[in-house]
Structure 1
Amino acid sequence: MRFFLLFAVCALSWATSLVAQAGTSPIILDVARFRNLNKVEKGAEVEIYVTISTQALTYRQRAPRAFQSAATVTLEVLKADGKPAYREVVILKPPVLTDTSIVIKNPQSFLKRILLPDGKYTVRGTVRDQYRSSNGETTVEKPLLLETPTTTFLSDIVLLARPAVRSGGTDNFARSGYRLTRAPGNVYSRGAENIFFYTELHDAPAGQPVRIHYHLTTPDGSAADADAILTPESGRPTSVVGQLPLGPLPDGPFTLFVEVYGGPGNKKLLAGHRVIGDRSAVDYAPAGAAVPR
């Protein structure tokens, strides 16, 4: 469990900054850690979900009633000594618009999966507006700590804009047989009635049913709870998917706890993890961002 407990303080600061950025920053980074199934090398499979708000980009007229924007996104993972562990440049060209007064310009998203050994890293994303000569570049950084756990544990919890659905796809948006549509910045906006989530349970006793307890809470004490029974599989991660109603929860931050109980009567805590999100019923958020072609 130390893999996740050491990360708790960083996760809290991440969530706070992401919520603040979701409505203003042209780039949002969501980082989730999953177990590297290659048992020879310790480390993790890191998913970096990058969302670019096209609202903040400059649109140029290319033809009568044809306007387009363009952005260059540089994604980097830096080691503790500042040396690069990963670097890639992605060019985004959102769809052509016939009218730049259109209020909703769909954000663009892409996802990268990277295998990294244990250690401390910094994830850095830089977006540059190709059609703006000055003040057209924004950089966001997130700390990342990887330390392989030695006991039963849950991977990071991924908050989703839509329910996880069964899929036979093999692209980056599919995981363990599910299609995942992330909620950028962990923000749920106007019209959202439920939160959806996905995580993976590792190293639980195979074939023995465990109880999964979900607890959703806000700073004012509002809460929602649910339980489910799962039977872990042998030799592979057990997918944990679910949803909870937002219901009367107030606007602002919320915390989702996922706990796994086993043993006699399923009363012994085997693993637990949490994620912090935000609800904003008055604003729109880039939920379900379009995937660039």
Structure 2
Amino acid sequence: MRYLLTILIALATLAAQAGPPQILLDVARFRNLNKVEKGAEVEIYVTVPTQPLTYRQRAPKSFQSSAVVTLDILKADGTSAYHEVVTLKPPVLTDTTIAIKNPLSFLKRVMLPDGKYTLRGTVKDQYRSANGETTLEKPLVLEAPTGPFMTDIVLLSRPAVKGGSDDNFSRGGYRLTRAPSGSYGRGADNVFFYTELHNAPVGQELRVHYHLTTPDGSAADADAALTPQAGRPTPVVGQLPMGPLPDGPFTLFIEVYGGPGNKKLLTGHRAIGQHSTAEFAPGAAAAPH
């Protein structure tokens, strides 16, 4: 009985120290290439840090947490365009004092007509009743640009790999490993990225300029040549060194130039990330259960 009471007190202490559960929502909008049903293909990359979750003892030296994630996409009138519930069960731990508990991530792809939506993600700690739920909302605007344009930039934790299986983690013929919320932690020495170029002039080589900058003025730049593909989007992949960047937020700009001497700006896009050498960045994805 005394052993059980000690365990209950320890678990209660862990729950009190952990704070509410957390959820990260990364959204990337791509164009739906279906000519009949025009619209967007929305990638929702969900990450749940496991540090704040409550761990319940299942057997001697066996502890596990559990979280339920609810995803909703609401139309402008409040009606549902998408709804799904996913249960996440992190690996069993032998000791709840283990400092590094890897986050769990999964990715969903949703086809939607163009329009205005709200993305809502809710995570619920299944082993905690008080302060055990967190909801995050993001506006989601889907529209078809005219002329050359780039889709959202996806920040990656490792280089995009050509080939591989055709699943949710592949796009444009590349295998992508996302950096949740654009976070790069200890040991990261490069920013990797992927986007797609649409409606660019075919038959000429274009110049792509990459610019990485921080609020204090630190920067890294690079140029590359790109020949657009006819009839389909052109993948744009690359990397820039993290070395000159201090800790804190950074902005990645990708610009495409064409015309005489490749001096005319055709299109551009940006993505915002975070660099922190004091902590580990969230790891790769795990399949939901």
Give the alignment's TM-score, normalised by structure 1. Answer: 0.89
Matches within 5 A, 1:24-39: 26-39=22-35
CA distance in 2, matches of 1:251, 1:105: 23
| Partner SS for 1:95 | coil
Give, in whole Å, the separation in 1 of the partners of 2:225 and 2:21: 40
What is the CA deviation profile of residues 15-40 of structure 1, one whole-angstrom value per residue up to 9, with x for unaligned ones? xxxxxxxxx96110000000110133
Q: Which residue of 1 aligns with 2:64?
A: 68
CA spacing shift, 1:115–1:288, aligned 2, 3 Å? same
2:276: which partner in 1? 280
Provide the secondary structure at the position in 2 that maps to 1:265. Answer: helix
**In structure 1, how many angstroms separate the alpha carbons of the residues matched to 2:275 and 2:21?**
17
Residue in 2 that maps onto 1:175: 171
| Residues matched between the structures, number | 270
Q: Name which one, 1 or 2, has greater alpha-carbon Rg.
A: 2
Matches within 5 A, 1:42-53: 42-53=38-49
Structure 1 CA distance for aligned equivalents of residues 243 and 102 of structure 2? 27
Q: Say if 2:81 is the partner of 1:85.
A: yes
Answering whether residue 267 of structure 2 is matched by residue 271 of structure 1, we say yes
Give 1:11's aligned residue: none
Letter in 2 for 1:88: E
Distance 2:260 2:22 in 1: 50
- 2:110 counterpart of 1:123: no
Q: Tell whether the 8 Å contact from 1:106 to 1:289 is kept in structure 2 after alignment.
A: no
CA contact (8 A) 1:156 1:199 kept: yes
- TM-score normalized by structure 2? 0.90
Shift of 1:211: 0.7
Match of 1:233 in 2: 229
Q: 3-state SS of the aligned residue for 2:232? A: coil
Q: Is the 8 A contact 2:28 2:153 kept in 1?
A: yes
Q: Which residue of 1 aligns with 2:183?
A: 187
Distance in 1, matches of 2:188 and 2:138, equals 27
- CA shift at 1:208, angstroms? 1.6
Whole-Å separation in 2 of the counterparts to 1:82 and 1:201: 32
3-state SS of 1:81 partner? coil
Comparing 275-284 with 35-44, greater Cα deviation is found at 35-44
Identity, in percent, stands at 75
Contact in 1 for aligned 2:30/2:151 (Cα 8 Å): yes
* Alpha-carbon offset, residue 173 of structure 1: 0.6
What is the aligned counterpart of 1:207 among 182, 203, 207? 203
Alignment RMSD, CA only? 1.3
Q: Please tell me whether residue 223 in structure 1 is matched to residue 219 in structure 2.
A: yes
- Tell me how far 1:167 sits from its aligned partner: 2.5
Alignment correspondent of 1:13: none
Task: List runs of 5+ in structure 1 lacking aligned partners.
Answer: 1-23
Instruction: Give the 3 Å change call, closer, same or farther, for CA 251–25 of structure 1 in structure 2.
Output: farther
What residue in structure 1 maps to residue 128 of structure 2? 132
Aligned to 1:253: 249
**Amino acid paired to 2:75:** K
Q: 2: distance between equivalents of 1:64 and 1:167?
A: 44
1:236 and 1:50 map into 2 onto residues whose CA distance is: 28
Kindly provide the CA deviation profile for residues 165-196 of structure 1, in whole angstroms up to 9, marking residues without a partner as x. Answer: 11231110111111111111111111111110
Deviation at 1:288, TM superposition (A): 2.2
**Among 88, 98, 101, the residue aligned to 1:102:** 98
Secondary structure of 2:261's counterpart equals helix
SS in 1 for 2:51: helix
| Contact 2:172–2:235 (Cα < 8 Å) also in 1 | yes
- Contact kept? 1:188, 1:287, Cα under 8 Å: no
Paired position in structure 2 for 1:16: none
SS in 2 for 1:185: helix
Q: Aligned-pair distance for 1:289? A: 3.9
Q: Is the 8 A contact 1:106 1:290 kept in 2?
A: no
Question: One-letter code of the match for 1:34?
Answer: F
